[in-house]
Amino acid sequence: MNSTPSYDVCIIGAGVAGAAMAAYLGKNGKKVVVIEKSLAEMDRILGELLQPGGVQMLKKMGLEHCLENIDAQPVVGYGMFLDGKSFQIGYQAKEKGLTGFGFRNGKFVQNLRAYMQSIPNITVIEATAQSLIEEGGIVKGVNYTNHEDIPVQLTARITIVCDGALSIFRQQLSASEKKITGYFLGLVLENCILPYPNHGHVIMSGTSPILLYPITSTGTRALIDFQGDQAPRMGEELKQHLLNKIGAVIPESAKPSYINAVNAGKYKVFPNHRLPAHPVLKKGVVLLGDSLNMRHPLTGGGMTAAFSDSYNLGNCLLEVKDWWNAKEIELAVKKFYDTKTTQTASINILADALYGVMTSQDLKEACYSYLMQGGLKASEPVSILSVLSRDKEMLQRHFFAVAFHGAGNIMRSKSGGGKIKRSYRMIKDAIHIISPLLLHERPTWLMKSLLKVGKKVFR
């Protein structure tokens, strides 16, 4: 093989992470080739609520214009629902006019791709990457087959793998295994009247959480969680479950549109994954986006994490002075992996911790009642959810405060015996939910010791 790489950077996958990464490096002068298996607009149920922290990252990369002309809807906060009660919390961004946005994922990705394709030093090839080219333990590029069925090799100084949740390259480049944590069934509700317009709605009633948020001026996305590692089976039984069990907890104003959508039967189902970021450092290649790291989509943090990583990796690579020096590129990748946790730990921990909370009735009630107190008890957790803050310690503090608040509520309640046992069990559940999540995100020595003690006391 010719030893002179044709490109500075080869990117596999032009989804949320890959298209943003290509655009950021391309507009900063790098010669980039992108290989994407289909450039057609995708119709998916994922990646449709971008938190304000993600909008900030797009701005930093000069890509916020990609939110324009797609009928994107501003999202200014969250409505929380539990057992017939509800309240609303605003994002309270310090930056004037900063909101989140709801949109159709396919439309947004097409905007990112169109911008990427308008940059002269970016080449885009529509094909499926099949394998990495490796020589002497160093990745030199990608093999793919073109439209005439001829095998082609693309070579670059660094290959960035962004082939998404179902990545075929992750196996060689990651030490952690993805775990299915459940499924989201998605519906689009037409002309739905949301109780809190321009808000994300988290319905905590029932056995599994439900999300509602606007994605166009007439469309609202509904995502309904199904626990376990088996996808819900399509058919009459599922339809009845959606109409009766789930329908019973949908807010009244949204019900007519919800029932119409269920009767129309246009459901889509996608698995939710958890994948802690444990990359294997290999020369010439780096993982990015869902191929590197996934968390539960309950908090809508995936795209913000992907953009934060794209910005961080982009800056590490743009600091490289000599692109002929493979060692310098390797150090840039190492720096990205080493610093990643400062940007994405709070997003990852919150998503899976909150999903864990949803599985316990006592913790759910504690969480609802804690946030409802308002003040810093609402605004700080929401600043983590919106990714306007990435303060992991603050998140830990509020998480444990929720459990102790709930225990206090139980002890003060008029209900009969077993209060101590219930409170103890709730704190134990909280520790068991958050411990593995914190341990995956480079905890301090003190945090490790506290978790050890906590687990011993609350066995």
Which residues are near ligand FAD by CB under 6 A? 12-18, 35-38, 45-50, 128-129, 162-165, 168, 184, 270, 272, 289-291, 297, 300-304, 306
Residue number with CB closer to ligand FAD (50 or 187): 50
Q: Write down the least CB distance from residue 219 to ligand FAD, Å.
A: 14
Distances 288 to 6, 174, 316 between C-alpha atoms, Å: 22, 11, 13
**Other beta carbons less than 10 A from residue 346's beta carbon:** 26
Smallest Cα–Cα separation from 299: which of 178, 397, 387?
387
Residue number with CB closer to ligand FAD (214 or 443): 214
Q: Write down the least CB distance from residue 373 to ligand FAD, Å.
A: 27
Q: Write down the least CB distance from residue 167 to ligand FAD, Å.
A: 7
Q: Write down the least CB distance from residue 57 to ligand FAD, Å.
A: 11
Residue number with CB closer to ligand FAD (55 or 451): 55
Distances 211 to 105, 214, 220, 421 between C-alpha atoms, Å: 16, 10, 10, 32
**12-18-21-22 Cα dihedral, nearest 10 degrees:** 60
What token pair was written down for 428? 């134990």
Q: Write down the least CB distance from residue 94 to ligand FAD, Å.
A: 21
Smallest Cα–Cα separation from 222: which of 232, 234, 214, 230?
214
Q: Write down the least CB distance from residue 183 to ligand FAD, Å.
A: 8
* Residue matched to tokens 């080869």: 10
Q: Write down the least CB distance from residue 420 to ligand FAD, Å.
A: 39
Q: Using CA atoms, how far apart are residues 247 and 245, in angstroms rounded to an integer?
A: 6
Residue number with CB closer to ligand FAD (48 or 362): 48
Q: Using CA atoms, how far apart are residues 110 and 195, in angstroms rounded to an integer?
A: 31
Residue number with CB closer to ligand FAD (116 or 433): 116
Residue number with CB closer to ligand FAD (224 or 431): 224
Residue nearest to ligand FAD (CB): 15
Q: Using CA atoms, how far apart are residues 432 and 422, in angstroms rounded to an integer?
A: 15
Q: Write down the least CB distance from residue 144 to ligand FAD, Å.
A: 7
* Residue matched to tokens 């039984």: 237
Which element (helix H / strand E) includes 268? strand 268-274
Residue number with CB closer to ligand FAD (37 or 422): 37
Q: Phi and psi (nearest 5°) for 72?
A: -65, 145
Residue number with CB closer to ligand FAD (35 or 407): 35
Smallest Cα–Cα separation from 163: which of 35, 344, 348?
35
